[in-house]
A and B are shown apart, each in its own frame.
Chain A
Amino acid sequence: GEDVEQSLFLSVREGDSSVINCTYTDSSSTYLYWYKQEPGAGLQLLTYIFSNMDMKQDQRLTVLLNKKDKHLSLRIADTQTGDSAIYFCAVGSNDYKLSFGAGTTVTVRA
């Protein structure tokens, strides 16, 4: 099956940029997602990118996709305390499911 890996923790100072990285194995993936989960809540769709794109920008969020290296990243500009959460990388494949990474816990310090 699909393997999705991401680093577990990231600590960033308020106002700095955060970069969360993710690698995956299935080259047939068509949709690649970033979800945010706050304590006690479900998954909030942050952004997504099609596999035929290299980059997508959405306000403070920038997603970069390197298909050759199967590497996906999420950059959050001007990180705020409200950005403290767990961020999941997810990859959609042709068998009607998403495969998730373990999640990166982002802590924003003042």
Chain B
Amino acid sequence: KAGVTQTPRYLIKTRGQQVTLSCSPISGHRSVSWYQQTPGQGLQFLFEYFSETQRNKGNFPGRFSGRQFSNSRSEMNVSTLELGDSALYLCASSLEGPSTDTQYFGPGTRLTVL
């Protein structure tokens, strides 16, 4: 089975722009989670989706949003980018959710905001 894939792998944007990141889960997985990784804050939970429904959202401003499609693929969007949004964005998938199944991560999208 193919693993979790994320596109693009690298992005460079300027402050004020917006960005959309994409995640394709492992085939058959219906839960997709997003995490932000920075040197200062470590790994922080952004949101989790299951069958197109957001079940939990982390403590991030409303500029961070996401969605999940009927094929379980997910996108996250960050609007009005700030320098502090520079990070590695990781997507993870599992069958039913991180509380009940093993969660597998993709390679991440590295976002640099100039």
Contact = CB atoms under 8 A, between A and B. Distances in A.
Interface in B34-52: 35, 42-43, 45, 48, 50
A42 B108 contact: yes
Contacts of A35: 105
Residue picked from B100, B103, B107, most chain A C-beta under 10 Å: B103
Contacts of B31: 96
A96 B103 contact: no
Contacts, number: 66
A69 interface: no
Interface in B88-114: 90, 92, 97-108
A82 to B, nearest CB: 18
Contacts of B106: 42
Contacts of B105: 35, 42-45
B107 A31 contact: no
Contacts of B98: 31, 92, 96-98
Q: Dominant SS at the B interface? A: strand
A99 B56 CA distance: 13
A42 B107 contact: yes
A81 interface: no
Nearest to B54: A96
Contact of A98 (B6, B45, B50, B107): B45
B55 interface: yes
Interface of A: 30-31, 33, 35, 41-45, 48, 88, 90, 92-103
Given A41-B108, A100-B43, 13 more contacts: A31-B100, A33-B103, A35-B105, A42-B6, A42-B107, A42-B108, A45-B102, A45-B104, A45-B105, A95-B56, A96-B31, A96-B50, A98-B103
